[in-house]
Amino acid sequence: MSHRRGRSTALATAVAVISLPLVAATGQAGAAPAATAQQAVAAATPAHPFPTHVTYKTGVMPSASQSARDAAVTKQYGSWKSKYLRAACGGYLVYATGDAPNKGTVSEAQGYGMNIVPLMAGYDADAKTEFDGLWHVVSTHRDSQGMMEWKIDGSSCKYADSGTPDGATDGDLDVGYGLILADKQWGGYTSAANDWLAKLYAADVASDGHLKCEDDGPNTDTRPSDHMLDHLRAFAAYDTAHDWNKVVTRTEAVIKAFTAKYSPTANLLSDFVVKANTSSPQPAPADYQESQPDNIVGYNSVRVPWHMGTDALLYGSSVSVGVATKESASYKSHAGGDPAKIYPHTKLDGSPTQTDDQSEAANDPVGVAAMAAGDQAWTDKLWNFLATNPYGDTYYGETIKMLVYIVMAGDYWSPAS
């Protein structure tokens, strides 16, 4: 199954935050989906209202003032919400432009939304209603293993890919993290979070502890953009019924073994990795699942600097700090210190390819790695670049930017704290 990243060239326009009504399954305006009794009694006041102003364990912050950073986040949120959060299918969809038909969604998008909305609670008075709507769509579109069907038509609200419905690990991880965030933010999601994490562990974790690419995929491959170590550490603290520390340890081992052999200087990871269940993981064949090709950095692994940097900032992990530092330095060197010259397709030695194809999905994540690396000047350049969208990115780039903004502003709190 291919989880290809579509990219639109339509220019984005900043719009103020709007409130969207929940809709019935017909797609028409109507009543909100029924909340569980547990959710109904949950406190409406968020425990961690935005802005949270987190002190990270390592790294530097952008030189912009805290108030300026918070304002940048809320401006991006207003734009993101007005364009991509839409009422449909009895709840809310994150409209994944180019990836799903009829303004539909994919599990990755729903997971992103379920992370963004709880983090913006307190600023967005409708955050809990919106989160419940996002979760409603996820929970009513499950495959045989209990994970969200990875692609949903935005009109019929049915599975929108060929074959038997299946899930994608990145979306599964973010949905689980979102439920934990919601539980820590408002309370009332403990049962849902524990049930999801149990199913996720059974579906997406191979016997040796590495993360599979999808729940119906082989037990021998992995996708580094799924290596959200901060999520895994939060799962370990929250869900003691499953050995998430084993997943952390195995994920770090795959990262270390791969980078030592294939990218010792840049510490880059290819879009897909095979032989992940051995001591010698290696790049997947060029056309393993997609056509970017899969044996270098493409539209999947552009997210790795963000994930490694986030884990480094929140937890101070030596593995994540090391990878983030080398990746930041590699991108800076090959771009000549110019964020606009970071490209989505990069060889494992750091040299860019396909320089005619650009996206902010490649530039923005490096800002988090630069913070973790402690590179103040590079962090500031990348922070300033966030305010632009020179490539006309839509859902994918703009949603990654939203989450990167929250981290770089210092407003990304950990539910494991």
Q: Which of 287, 379, 273 is nearest to 325 (CA)?
A: 379
Give the residue from 152, 179, 165 showing the smallest Cα distance to 234. Answer: 179
**What are the structure tokens assigned to 236, written together?**
């370990």
3-state helix, strand, coil in the chain (%, to 5): 45, 5, 50
**Under DSSP, is residue 34 helix (H, G, I), strand (E, B) or coil?**
coil
Is 251 buried (19+), middle (13-18) or exposed (0-12) by CB count in 10 A?
Answer: buried
- Which H/E stretch holds residue 67? helix 66-84
Query: In the Cβ-directed half-sphere of 270, how many Cα atoms lie within 13 Å?
Result: 29
Q: Quote the CA–CA distance of 75 and 122 in Å, as a whole number.
A: 15
Is the Cβ–Cβ distance between 134 and 86 less than 8 Å? no
- What is the CA 264 to chain-centroid distance, rounded? 25
* Chain centre distance of CA 287: 23
Structure tokens at 245: 């520390």
Angle between helices 304-315 and 318-334 (to 10 degrees): 140
Q: Are 106 and 150 in contact (CB under 8 A)?
A: yes
Cα dihedral: 352, 353, 359, 363 (round 10)? -10
Six-digit token string for 113? 């939304």
Active site residues: 108, 170
Instruction: Return the amino acid letter for 373.
Output: A
Calpha distance 384→398 (Å, rounded): 15
